[in-house]
Amino acid sequence: MIKKNLIELAIRSLKKYDTERGLIYTKSDDTYDSISRRKLFSDILTVFDYLKNYGIKPDDKIAIISENRTEWIICDFASMLLRSVTVPIYTTLSSESIKYILKDSAAKICIVSNNLYLDKVLSIESELHDLKMIVTFSDTDRQAMIPIMNIKKILSDGKERNLKEVLHRLEQISGNINENDLLTIIYTSGTTGVPKGVMLSHKNVYSNVLSISKVLPVGEDDLFLSYLPYSHIYERTAGYYFPFFVGAKIYYAQSIDTIGLQMAEVKPTVVITVPRLLDKIYNKLIKNYEEMPASIKKKILGWAINVAKSNWNNKDTFKWKLANKLVYTKIREKTGGRLRLFVSGGGALNKRIGEFFEGIGILTLEGYGMTEASPVISVNRAEKNKYGTVGTPLEGVSVKIADDGEILVKGDLVMKGYFNNKEETDNTIVNGWLHTGDIGEKDEDGYIRITDRKKSLFKSSGGKYIAPAHIEEIILQLSYVDQVLVIGNNRMYVTALIVPEITALKDVARNMCANVETESELFQCEAILKKITSDLNEVQKDLAPHEKVRKFTLLEQPFTIERGELTPTLKIKRKVVEEKFSNLIEKMYLKV
């Protein structure tokens, strides 16, 4: 009988791939330091032995507050070997939010990467009665009531193991790990409500990794550039476990802001991403084109951009091949020249941007998932890619549309439930079907199209149902709109909070010859506001009258994760933003 646990997948990878080749790469100064698969698991066993001797038992909770790094992986696998449960925590969370998670999960150990996160934990230490030890990745002089241990010390006291020793130990331990053992509890930072602890088992994630590997064309020659946090199950499954078990290399981006530079350095072949990154790359290219002085070079670039949009699925034409030779190869060179696959999730991908990237020779596959589903439910296929959809379900995943349009999911990927929350679990999983909260439909080929969140749908005071996500996607087509939130629940008409892309908005002002000297004046300039109103009317022309945004307010500051307005995958937390900007929203509904 096949053991459905991640240690079993690790054993298979150790037997199949070159164990001395670099596996994980981290940038240090101007070079990338690597660790091999064999060395990594030797270190994992050292940390496992230490924690076991310390008294950590099966089902004990181990919290991790860290950016993506090799030590994250070491602690994650050590936890699996202990049959304990990792509780990843976003580094951007406040001390209060961290306290809620540590107390709710009754974490015995909290692992932090640096003194900043250590200080957050120490500020609430007196309230964490279950916490027995803190492990840090960096040197510290902090004092605490409980022991603080440095992972460097733990690893330095361990021994170097050869491949035979590593495999022997892993095979011994793997036999004791059950597929239904709890692997991790991930506290969702959803767009509404209090965080819920999603319980995922070995079988949940194991099944998802195997199903992904059957549809994404990735292997040991591939190189991933990872920038999304492991605290989110999307990157953890698709950008860490998946490449890890199919033999690919993983390079860490230092931040989303360094990705452009690091693409050129690393030359990745695959990037797991959210739509926001693709939007930024596309908008930067278009902006560069618009700012070019009139010349033959500009004409060629403009022509090539149009060819990419119109011939994205037909690369056999002479004009596409010419555009590829003259333009697309140069664009791809800026990404390192080897990038062939973006996998986009965590939010809706703009159809025209997806088609554009495929049009310049970078396949972009949009998928759909949620934390409660480990997370990938469906994804487009390389052989039949339909932009505007999230593809078809993975192997072993059943999807049906309920009478009210809600997407329901069943299969080994569905979570065990919410930690300490039976009522929510029973409301979410009914007769084995996971109620996703997403509204969608299937086309004639079984491809899924997401139309909105069930909780996001609102009704106007006139009784008309409105799907804000669809309206927001339309407004985001305007090049100077960076973020938008549509409002209108129980209101007479629809309004919007719009965060402009400042540089693009300045370009609008310049092209209009508007008399604007400061950024603040951009937001009050009547000519600019009239221009935006006109553009909104144009892009919304196909919407029903009750769906159209009639008033808007420009915000000078973007929504951020740090202020609690965005989730870690950059989705706007509707409830938080509506409460924070309630005064501005009410002004849009005052009678004039």
pLDDT digits 0-9 by tens, 35-46: 999 999 999 999
Residue 441 located in a structural domain: yes
What average pLDDT does the segment 233-258 reach? 96
The yes-or-no verdict on residue 592 having pLDDT over 70 is no
Q: Kindly state whether residues 94 and 157 are assigned to the same domain.
A: yes
Q: Residue 247: its pLDDT value, please?
A: 97
Question: Cβ distance 485 to 496 under 8 Å?
Answer: yes
113: left (phi over 0), alpha (psi -120 to 50) or beta: alpha
Which has the closest alpha carbon to 213: 183, 245, 181?
Answer: 245
What span, in angstroms and rounded, lies between the C-alpha atoms of 273 and 515? Answer: 39
Domain span holding position 381? 270-451
Q: How many CA atoms lie within 13 A of 525 on its CB side?
A: 21
pLDDT band, residue 190 (cuts 50/70/90): low
Domain closes at, from 416, 451, 486: 451
Average pLDDT estimate for 487-507: 90
Q: Are residues 441 and 583 in the same domain?
A: no
Residue 348 pLDDT > 90, yes or no? no
Do 462 and 447 lie in one domain? The reply is no
Q: What's the confidence (pLDDT) of residue 250?
A: 98
Based on the fold, state whether residues 372 and 317 are members of the same structural domain: yes
For the record, the structure tokens of 7 come out as 């240690």
Sign (positive or negative) of CA dihedral 310, 315, 319, 324: positive
Q: Which one of 409, 429, 451 terminates a domain?
A: 451
441 shares its domain with 472: no
Whether 255 and 91 have beta carbons less than 8 Å apart is answered as no
Per the structure block, which two tokens stand in for 272?
Answer: 């797991």
Query: Is residue 520 over pLDDT 50?
Result: yes
Q: What angle do CA 361, 226, 181 make, to 5 degrees?
A: 120
Q: How far apart are CA 233 and CA 222, in angstroms?
A: 21
Task: Check which CATH number belongs to the domain holding 106 and give it.
Answer: 3.40.50.12780
Q: Which of 451, 476, 496 is the last residue of a domain?
A: 451
| Residue 219 located in a structural domain | no
Distance CA 437, CA 427 (A): 11
Reading phi first (left if > 0) and then psi (alpha if -120 to 50, else beta), residue 411 is in left
Q: What is d(CA 8, CA 58) in angstroms, rounded to the nearest whole number?
A: 18
Half-sphere exposure of 41 (CA within 13 A, CB side): 27
Asked if residue 193 has pLDDT above 70, the reply is: no
Of 273, 212, 296, 295, the residue nearest 246 (C-alpha) = 212
Please indicate, yes or no, if residue 200 is contained in any of the structural domains: no
**Over 70: is that where the pLDDT of 465 sits?**
yes
Domain count, the chain: 3
Q: What mean pLDDT do residues 182-202 have? A: 85
- What type of residue sits at position 405? G
Which range has highest mean pLDDT (369-373, 476-480, 500-504)?
Answer: 369-373
pLDDT reported for residue 113: 98
Tell whether the model's pLDDT for residue 95 goes beyond 80: yes
Same domain for 430 and 281, yes or no, is yes
